[in-house]
Amino acid sequence: MQKEDIKKIEKEINYKFVNSELLVVALTHSSYANENDIKSYERLEFLGDSILNFAVSEFLFTHYKNLNEGRLSKIRAYIVNQDAVFNAVKDFEFVNHIKAVEGLEIGKPIISDVCEAIVGAVFLDSNNYDVAKNVVLELLKNSLKTDFNKKIITDYKSYLLEKCQASKQTVQFSHYKQSEQIEPCFKAELYINNKLVSTGYGRTKKRAEQMASKEAINKIENLN
């Protein structure tokens, strides 16, 4: 990995590594690590996952003093789930430098895992939780801008079905298995009144339906 690439990532997350090798490891998928007999990001991901969850918990506790424990837990789950993390970091420079075997799709699961691994790497490098927390807030800043005093949707399919049933519209899904993918992947097409509205992808049919429903909700709300 080139020094200039490391500098770009450091600038983006607002942290300069003492040991930049930790960042390289955080960007290395197990498939590439196994082929080249080097370390992968998995242990850093384990560490970073805990720090990310705690940092988000602290942020919510501090900024939403009027919300109870149950509501805060739901919001945290919404922020740290794989899709939300991916959407928050997908345009960051580090995404372009993830190392994996040729043919392996670097999609949501891997990108969200690498995000957590980078947090773990920062914590180890700095030996300082507050420094790692600031990187979490930088990585998730777009998600954390949301006003969580308002209702958030976590079950997109149920929400969509409820809305469509209330307006007497029919909802149907068609499923397809993406056999050309290295990792299992399903495609779900969502039809409202027999018209194709959206498409979603996921490791399971249910996940693909949720993603298709989320896209449909976004389209409908943008039209209103």
Q: What's the pLDDT at 179?
A: 61
Do 17 and 6 meet the contact criterion of CB atoms below 8 Å apart? yes
Which residue in the list 45, 113, 116, 209 is annotated as catalytic? 116
**Do 93 and 200 belong to one domain?**
no
- Say whether 116 is catalytic: yes
pLDDT (mean) for 163-171: 91
- The phi, psi pair for 68, rounded to 5°, reads -85, 175
Give the rounded percent of residues in the chain with a pLDDT score beyond 90.
Answer: 65
- What CATH number is given to the structural domain containing 167? 3.30.160.20
Do 139 and 121 meet the contact criterion of CB atoms below 8 Å apart? no
Q: What's the pLDDT at 222?
A: 63
Look at residue 172 and tell me whether its pLDDT is greater than 60. Answer: yes
- What CATH number is given to the structural domain containing 112? 1.10.1520.10
**Is residue 45 assigned to a domain?**
yes
Q: How many domains does the chain have?
A: 2
CA–CA distance, 76 with 141 (Å, rounded to integer): 14
**Is residue 28 assigned to a domain?**
yes
Q: Which domain covers residue 89, as residue numbers? A: 3-144
Q: How far is CA 14 from the centre of its chain?
A: 20
CA–CA distance, 173 with 190 (Å, rounded to integer): 5
Which residue in the list 45, 49, 113, 125 is annotated as catalytic? 49
- Mean pLDDT score of the chain: 91
The closest of 168, 166, 163, 217 to 190, measured between CA atoms, is 217
- Say whether 83 is catalytic: no
Residue 203, C-beta contacts closer than 8 angstroms, at least 6 positions apart = 109, 183, 184, 185, 186
CA–CA distance, 199 with 211 (Å, rounded to integer): 7
Q: What's the pLDDT at 202?
A: 84
Q: 39 falls in which pLDDT band (50, 70, 90)?
A: very high
